[in-house]
Amino acid sequence: MEVNRIKSFFFPDPQSKRYVTLTYITIYMLALLIAGVIYVWYHVPDIIPIHFSLGGKPDIYGSKKHIWELIFVPVVIFLVISAILQSNLIKKTFRSNYPDNSKHERVYAEESKWILYLLRAGVVLVFCAITATAYFQSI
């Protein structure tokens, strides 16, 4: 019972192959991100640059504890977007009182869901790139 609840949280649209595929890719990227952050943690010095100017020069330094933010932020965003996708919020947003607009409402709702799936994957991808950059800066 609990396994089905967890599965339906991450895969609210099991009938759509593109949603399921993108969710698997996103979860795989999250796993890579977590592994990458753990690996980077052991290879960076205790004081690291945590902010860079537009010219690419570090302008703020801090403890390497800030590396854990690279996991926290995308995981929270992943969970929040998953909760939004699980709720009926998207369907309710495009509901109107006109019966002839039901097809358009479904199209708008599907497009909105697809954008949220892409946003969820995009955020994780950006943080994977930041982690990779942190790794290559530490070499």
- The length of the chain, given as a count of residues: 139
Bridge pairing between strands 58-63 and 47-52: antiparallel
Domain count for the chain: 1
The gap from C-alpha 82 to its chain's centroid, in whole angstroms, comes to 9
Nearest 10 degrees: Cα torsion 94, 95, 98, 101: 40
Residue-level pLDDT at 26: 92
Q: Which residue, 124, 132, 114, is CA-closest to 20?
A: 114
pTM over 0.85: no
For 44-102, the pLDDT digits (tens) are 888 888 777 888 788 888 888 888 888 899 999 999 998 888 877 776 666 655 566 66
Close Cβ partners of 65 (under 8 Å, ≥ 6 residues apart): none
**Mean predicted confidence (pLDDT) in 28-35:** 92
Residue-level pLDDT at 94: 61
Close Cβ partners of 28 (under 8 Å, ≥ 6 residues apart): none
Average per-residue pLDDT for the chain:
81
Domain span including residue 101: 2-138
